[in-house]
């Protein structure tokens, strides 16, 4: 037992010390990224509208948005595959205009991972170092250390074809880290994995980023990935950065219609502003009457607005009557059981309202066709002027 335990303990301790040293060195290094008023045009088409954004050293930053919104274009500008039409990309405070991709302090993980099938795992990891003329001994040390970091120590002699999807993902990360980039760029690397593996790899990626202290810039259309892993998220639409915030703020305090609609599930209720008191706006909704929510930006009486309220923030029955300052009636159209919670699809006139309740809150009177009292706390709803910042 002792003969096994001591080498194992020493190996784990050595790995811990190595990772700690790497992180301390990273903390002293400026690996920030500044998109300094960048614009990207392709002929007459503006792919990226003027964007000024500072990503901090050691931050896990995600760009979130639908296909075609400009996420990959931004990544290509940072990596050096594109130079912006206007403005400049700065890494560590240094301008990158004219600096080719292979001279930038960045490394990229592509969506298809781009591992070399005819090379062993170790050869894949060491490839970038070999190109740079690093000695075989040093390359071996680096690949061994990184295999330990991604929990695949002892796998260096395996062929890529012998690895699972999650293991290939970790090898791609190790190969990108081998060249010691200041910034690691990740282009939707989890999109080809099944749901459970994607969820597992989110945890793995965040842990690797935390251990190394490298600046991670991640692009995705999957809001679950962005909210789970990121320190901050930038939501994009049609080449415009709509909002930048930490995940909780982004979810609870959307600043535009697009962010409110795209990030998480939301009920959208159209109406006209009846009155404004402090930060609250009272909205006259055709089907539901007067509803109140927190106004976003400058809101005045008579404006056309949308009120957004999350399904999980709507209370049902007695809880609505006693705990909410906004209460209304609706008819249950359908109930969907989804394990730990239920979704009630309700309607009042033509207005559809989705409600999520915990499975333990289900009562026998919640059936399709029944009338139900719904309510929410006005501070949980946001009111945004319609058609602005979309």
Options 3.40.440.10, 3.30.230.10, 1.10.150.300, 2.40.50.100; CATH of 265-385: 2.40.50.100
Question: How many other C-beta atoms are found inside a 10 Å radius of the C-beta of residue 149?
Answer: 21
What strands lie across the sheet with 341-348, from one edge to the other? 315-316, 371-376, 326-337, 341-348, 351-358
* For residue 1, pLDDT beyond 60: no
Of the candidates 203, 208, 205, the one whose C-alpha atom is nearest the C-alpha of residue 218 is 205
Q: Do domains 15-105+181-252 and 265-385 have the same CATH topology?
A: no
For the stretch 338-361, pLDDT in tens is: 888 999 999 998 999 999 999 888
The domain made up of 15-105+181-252 has a fold known as Rossmann fold (3.40.50)
pLDDT at 17: 45
Structure tokens at 58: 């050691």
Report pTM.
0.84
Domain boundaries of the chain, sorted by first residue: 15-105+181-252, 265-385
pLDDT at 276: 94
Taking a C-beta distance cutoff of 8 angstroms, is the pair 183, 212 a contact? no
* CA–CA gap between residue 172 and residue 122 (Å, rounded): 11
The mean pLDDT value of the chain amounts to: 88
132: pLDDT confidence band, cut at 50, 70 and 90? confident
Taking a C-beta distance cutoff of 8 angstroms, is the pair 144, 153 a contact? yes
Q: Residues 29, 30, 34, CA angle at the centre, nearest 5°? A: 160
pLDDT at 153: 84
For the stretch 45-84, pLDDT in tens is: 999 999 999 999 999 999 999 999 999 999 999 999 999 9
18: pLDDT confidence band, cut at 50, 70 and 90? very low
Composition of the chain by helix, strand, coil, percent to 5: 35, 35, 30
For the stretch 287-318, pLDDT in tens is: 899 999 999 989 999 999 999 999 999 999 98
For the stretch 20-38, pLDDT in tens is: 444 554 555 789 999 999 9
Residues with Cβ within 8 Å of 282's Cβ and at least 6 positions away in sequence, in order, are 273, 274, 275, 276, 290, 291, 292
14: pLDDT confidence band, cut at 50, 70 and 90? very low
* Average pLDDT for 162-172: 85
Angle at which helices 121-131 and 136-149 cross, to 10°: 130
């Amino acid at each position: 037992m002792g003969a096994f335990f001591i080498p194992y303990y020493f190996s784990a301790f050595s790995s811990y010390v190595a990772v700690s040293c790497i992180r301390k060195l990273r903390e002293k290094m400026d690996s920030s990224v500044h998109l300094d008023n960048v614009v990207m045009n392709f002929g007459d088409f503006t792919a990226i509208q003027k964007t000024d954004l500072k990503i901090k050293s050691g931050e896990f930053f995600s760009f979130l948005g639908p296909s075609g919104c400009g996420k990959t274009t931004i990544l290509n500008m940072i990596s050096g595959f594109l130079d912006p039409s206007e403005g400049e990309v700065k890494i560590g405070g240094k301008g990158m205009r004219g600096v080719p991709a292979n001279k930038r302090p960045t490394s990229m993980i592509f969506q298809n991972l781009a591992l070399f099938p005819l090379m062993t795992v170790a050869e894949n990891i060491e490839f970038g170092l070999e190109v740079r003329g690093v000695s075989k001994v040093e390359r071996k040390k680096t690949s061994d250390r990184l295999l330990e970091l991604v929990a695949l120590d002892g796998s260096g002699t395996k062929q890529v074809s012998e690895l699972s999807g999650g293991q290939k993902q970790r090898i791609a990360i190790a190969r990108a880290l081998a060249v010691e980039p200041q910034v690691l760029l990740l282009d939707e690397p989890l999109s080809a994995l099944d749901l459970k593996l994607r969820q597992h790899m989110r945890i793995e990626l965040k842990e690797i980023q935390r251990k190394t202290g490298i600046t991670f810039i991640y692009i995705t259309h999957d809001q679950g990935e962005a909210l789970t892993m990121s320190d901050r998220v930038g939501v994009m639409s049609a080449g415009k950065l709509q909002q930048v915030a930490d995940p909780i703020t982004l979810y609870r305090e959307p600043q535009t219609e697009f962010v409110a609609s795209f990030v998480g599930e939301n009920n959208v209720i159209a109406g006209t502003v009846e009155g404004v008191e402090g930060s609250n706006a009272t909205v006259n909704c055709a089907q539901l009457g007067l509803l109140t929510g927190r106004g976003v930006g400058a809101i005045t009486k008579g404006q056309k607005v949308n009120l957004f309220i999350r399904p999980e923030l709507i209370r049902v029955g007695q809880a609505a009557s006693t705990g909410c300052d906004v209460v209304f009636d609706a008819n249950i159209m359908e109930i969907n059981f989804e394990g730990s919670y239920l979704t009630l699809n309700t309607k009042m006139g033509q207005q559809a309202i989705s409600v999520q309740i915990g499975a333990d809150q289900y009562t026998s009177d919640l059936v399709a066709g029944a009338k139900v009292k719904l309510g929410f706390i006005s501070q949980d709803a946001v009111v945004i002027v319609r058609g602005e910042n979309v």
